[in-house]
Each structure stands twice: as C-alpha cells, then as structure tokens.
Amino acid sequence: MSMIVWPAAGALATAVPVAWWAVSSGRQTNQRVVQNLAEQQPTMRQAVLQRSAAERLAMPITRGIGRRLLRFTPIGWVDGKANALAKAGWTGKITPEQVLGAKLLLPLFVGAFLGLRLLDDFTLRSAALVSAMTVASFVMPDLLVRSKADRRADEITRLLPDVLDQVTISVEAGLGFEAALARITATDDHALSQEFGRMLQDVRLGSTRSDALNALAARSQVEDLKTVVLTLRQAESLGVPLARSLRTLSGEMREKRRFRAEEKANQLPIKMIFPLGVCILPALFIVILGPAVVRFVELF
C-alpha cells in the first residue's frame, strides 16, 4: 500500500505545478494576443478623431437639417438627387439630405457674414452683391454635383474604348468576363474601374450579370456605356461569342471618340470669335491706330 501512495503523491505534486503553468501560460498568451490586437486596431475614439472636421461636424449637421426639410421637397426630388450623386460617384459618401441641408446652411452663413460687413457701409451696389452671393450659395451644391457628374461622365466616355480593349484581350486569353473586369479594377484606379468594381460587388452579392449591367448603366447615365451594356446583354441572350462582341464594341467606341475629337476641333474657330473680337482685336487697333489718332489730334 505504501509503495502505491508515494508514487501517486509524487505524481500529484508534479501535476499541480504543471497544470498551473499550462493555465497561466495560456492566459498570458491570450493577454499578449489581445494586447497586440489593441495596439494594431484603433479604438472607436481614435477612429472618430482620424476623420476630418467636415465628416465629424458638418456632415451630421447638414444630414439632420436635410431630413427635417425633406417634407417640403417636390415629389421625386430625392430620387433625382440620388441619381445625380450616383452619376457623380458620390453614392455612400454624400446623401440627398446632406445636399438639401447644405442648400439651407450655405445661404444663411454667407448672407449673415456679408450682411454684417454690409452694415458698416450700406449701398445699393453692396446690397445687390450680397443678394447675388446668397443666391449663388443656394445653387452652389447643385452646381458642384452637376459639374462632378459631367466630368465623371466625360472621363468614362474617354476611357471606355481602352478599357474594352483590355477586357477583350483578357477574354481572348481565356479569362471569364467577371475575371477580366476584376483584373481591370485591381490594376487601374479611375471612374470606369470603380463602376466595374461596383458591378462585380453586385454579382458577388447574388445579382445576375444582366441585372448588374442594368444597374451599371442606370448609375453611370453614360450613353456609350448604355450601348455597351445593351450589346453585352444581347450577346449573352443570343449566345454570340463574348470576345467578338467586345472587339466590335471597342472599335465602335474608338470611332465615336475620334468623331467627337473632330467635332470639338471644328468648333474651335467659332469659339475663338468672342475672345478674338473682345480681347485681342481692340488691343491691336489701339496699338496700330493709337499713334495715328494722336498725331491727327495734334495737327487739327
């Protein structure tokens, strides 16, 4: 009996420290892992402070004011503004409520600031200038969205033939259509690659290729891209080889881009009439005829 007790007691005495060491070491490892993750991942306060002042202060204020003003907007205004923001590439960044809030806050700030300066020296000219600046600040958000949307549409139209050529080469090399678009979005960073990336996200979330292409055309609102989407849908429904359709589309888009360049070149003489007649010709007449007029006045 004594020969069994002593080895059992020794094993128990050895197992207790070993078990304690194993538990404590695992706990220390977990603590080190948590500490490393805490050092690498910023806290919520740090993440908020890393944002700009506009994102932390101006955007929430304009969003809250815009939500309260939505009841006074015409029917369809929100949908139209959402489409304009999507065309400008600001979906998820700026909401129609923020645009509406900015349309109210900007005239108030501009009118108050200029109105305080107008109290020192009130004239009709100053009052008209303040009124014009206030009205301009009211329409400024809409003008910014429209300007951004037009520039983005021009960029998509200009880049579309080259991107179609890249997709065509990738498809002819053996890649699928989605894989070719994923390669474009991974290597390039422009408006068209962002739109294709959004389309790939829709496909990965469960949408069909046709629905994703329709959403792409509706979001971008570019006529050439709508033509490409329609041709790709027809090719998919009729069973036409995709590489052949893409090759034909790239050629057509390149021809359209050349025609647009020729059209702009032909418009240059007409556009040069105004600066030539208002700015250049009067100065030229003054330089040429000025000395003759001075001498004529001296003689008579």
**pLDDT score recorded for residue 147:** 92
Residues sharing a CB contact under 8 Å with residue 47, sequence separation 6 or more, in sequence order: none
Q: Is the pLDDT of residue 37 over 80?
A: no
Per-residue pLDDT reduced to its tens digit, 114-141: 777 777 777 777 778 888 888 888 889 8
Within 205-280, where are the H helices? 209-220, 223-238, 242-271, 273-275
Q: Is the pLDDT of residue 16 over 60?
A: no
The rounded percent of the chain whose pLDDT value lies above 70 is 81
Hey, how many other C-beta atoms are within 10 angstroms of the C-beta on 84?
18
153-270: CATH topology is Receptor-associated Protein (1.20.81)
CA distance 133 to 283: 32
Per-residue pLDDT reduced to its tens digit, 259-278: 888 888 888 888 888 887 78
Hey, how many other C-beta atoms are within 10 angstroms of the C-beta on 163?
21
Q: Which amino acid is at 163?
A: V
**pLDDT score recorded for residue 11:** 47
Query: Given CA atoms 251, 254, 258, 260 in this order, what sign does their dihedral have?
Result: positive
pTM of the model: 0.71
- Of residues 181, 182, 164, the one with CA closest to residue 246: 164
CA distance 135 to 106: 10
The whole-chain average pLDDT of the chain stands at 79
CA distance 31 to 38: 10
